[in-house]
Amino acid sequence: MSNRIDTIGAVLLAVIWVSPLLFAVWAAFHSTSDAVNFTLLSPWTLDNFRTAWAGAPWFQYFINTFLLVTTVLIGQFILTTLAGFAFAKLEFPGKDFVFILVLMQLFILPEVLIVENYAMVSRLGLFDTILGVGMPYMASAFGIFLMRQAFKSVPIELHEAARIEGCGLLGILWRVYVPLAKPTYLAYALVSVSTHWNNFLWPLIVTNSPETRPLTVGLSIFGAPENGVDISVISAATLMSVAPLLIAFLLFQRQFVQAFLRAGIK
């Protein structure tokens, strides 16, 4: 009995949760007038997708977002691995102090520092480049923290064994620690990719041209013409821009959730 109530509650909530997406699908495949009037039997059409696709360089935006996400991820992996390892396994003076500094950065959000970060990126000559969009996020305190936790749990015996075989410190890091932390990397990658795929405010500020603009900024510009929005076309554009990540998620859902579970982010 209580199970049935649970099921009803759970499914009801689920339906509410996906309904905005469902309505977007509905709107995207119908003419604007049919969409807003909910003419249920009206014909389906691909016109909105055609209009939306022709209205902006979406393919370029996809590429930009993809490059951005990849750049950030590679940068984060390298930086957080090195720093996380130093914090987890090495003893050196000043370590605790630096660690507190890093933790502080958890609360110094890049989003809040947009003005100065923008000035910095310009000074470095990285304004309107994909690298410029990604750079402030590479030394992620969250990532460093996560890697530190993962490396800490690696048994010291493995470390010693590798050392006796003659591995240098970096060799040990690469051969022993990195493979063992794979689930953490995976989970971190998921968080990072979905964060940066979706990031908006910072790219809005530092990108200026279609050659660097990621999807989110492209979408907002596409959706903000001066004189009025066309709900169906916007829905079509929105669906196009969320499709890759959404499909990837639907396909790899199980692995996705498993990755989180195994990494034990908590």
Partner 1 sequence: MNSHVNLERRRQAIYGWLLLTPAAILLSIFAFYPSIATLWSSLFSRNTRRRPSEYVGGENYTDLFADPTFWLVVKNNLLYAGVTIPVSIAIALAMALWANSKISARGFVRTAYFTPTVLPMIAAANLWLFFYTPGLGVLDQIGGLFGLPSVNWLGQPETALWAIIIVTIWKEAGFFMIFYLAALQTIPEDLKEAADIEGASRWTYTRRIVLPLLMPTTLFIMVNALINSVKLIDHLFILTKGGPSDASKLILYYIWEMAFAFFDAPHAAAMTIMVLLVLGIVAAIQFFYIDKRTHYQ
Partner 2 sequence: MTYFSRLGLASAVALGLATSASAETELTMYYPIAVGGALTEVVDEIVEGFEKENPDIKVSAIYSGNYDDTRVRALSALNSGEPAQLAVMFSIDAYDLIEQDLIVPFDDLVEDKAWLDSFYPALMANGKIEGKTWGIPFQRSTIVAYYNKDMFRKAGLDPESPPTTWYDLISMGKKLTNDDTYGIMIPSTAYPYWMFQALAIQNGKEVMSNDGLTTNFDDPQVVETLEFWKALSADHGVMPTGTVEWGTLRQAFLEGQTAMMWHSTGNLTAVKKNADFDFGVAMLPGNKRLGSPTGGGNFYIFKDTSDEEKAAALKLIEYMTAPEQAAAWSIATGYMGVSPAAYETKKLKSYTKEFPPALVARNQLEHAVAEFSTFETARVRDGLNNAIQSALTGAKTPKEALGEAQKTADRLLKAYR
Q: Does 74 bind partner 1 (CB under 8 A)?
A: no
DSSP secondary structure code for residue 166 in this structure: T
- For partner 2, the binding residue among 42, 51, 195, 198 (CB under 8 A) is 51
Of 231, 233, 224, 228, nearest to 48 by C-alpha is 233
Report the alpha-carbon distance of residue 244 to residue 249 in Å, rounded: 8
* Contacting partner 2 within 55-74 (CB under 8 A): 55-56, 60, 63-64, 67, 71, 74
User: What angle do the packed helices 182-198 and 58-89 form, to 10 degrees?
Assistant: 140
In this structure, what are the phi and psi dihedrals at residue 57, rounded to the nearest 5 degrees?
A: -75, 70
Q: Does 251 bind partner 1 (CB under 8 A)?
A: no
Q: Does 40 bind partner 2 (CB under 8 A)?
A: no
Give just the sign of the alpha carbon dihedral 188, 202, 208, 127: negative
Q: Which is nearer to partner 1, 67 or 79 (CB)?
A: 79
- For partner 1, the binding residue among 96, 116, 157, 226 (CB under 8 A) is 116
* Contacting partner 2 within 148-187 (CB under 8 A): none
Q: Does 82 bind partner 2 (CB under 8 A)?
A: no
Q: Does 83 bind partner 1 (CB under 8 A)?
A: yes
**Which span (46-54, 55-63, 154-162, 199-207) binds partner 1, by CB under 8 A?**
199-207
User: Which listed option, partner 1, partner 2, none, makes contact with residue 122 (CB within 5 to 8 Å by class)?
Assistant: partner 2
Q: Are 239 and 28 in contact (CB under 8 A)?
A: yes
Q: Which is nearer to partner 2, 162 or 173 (CB)?
A: 173
Of 263, 239, 123, 120, nearest to 190 by C-alpha is 263
Q: Are 124 and 194 in contact (CB under 8 A)?
A: no
- For partner 1, the binding residue among 42, 67, 110, 230 (CB under 8 A) is 110
Report the alpha-carbon distance of residue 220 to residue 241 in Å, rounded: 11
User: Which listed option, partner 1, partner 2, none, makes contact with residue 18 (CB within 5 to 8 Å by class)?
Assistant: partner 1
- For partner 1, the binding residue among 68, 133, 141, 162 (CB under 8 A) is 141
- For partner 1, the binding residue among 27, 72, 176, 181 (CB under 8 A) is 27
207: left (phi over 0), alpha (psi -120 to 50) or beta: beta
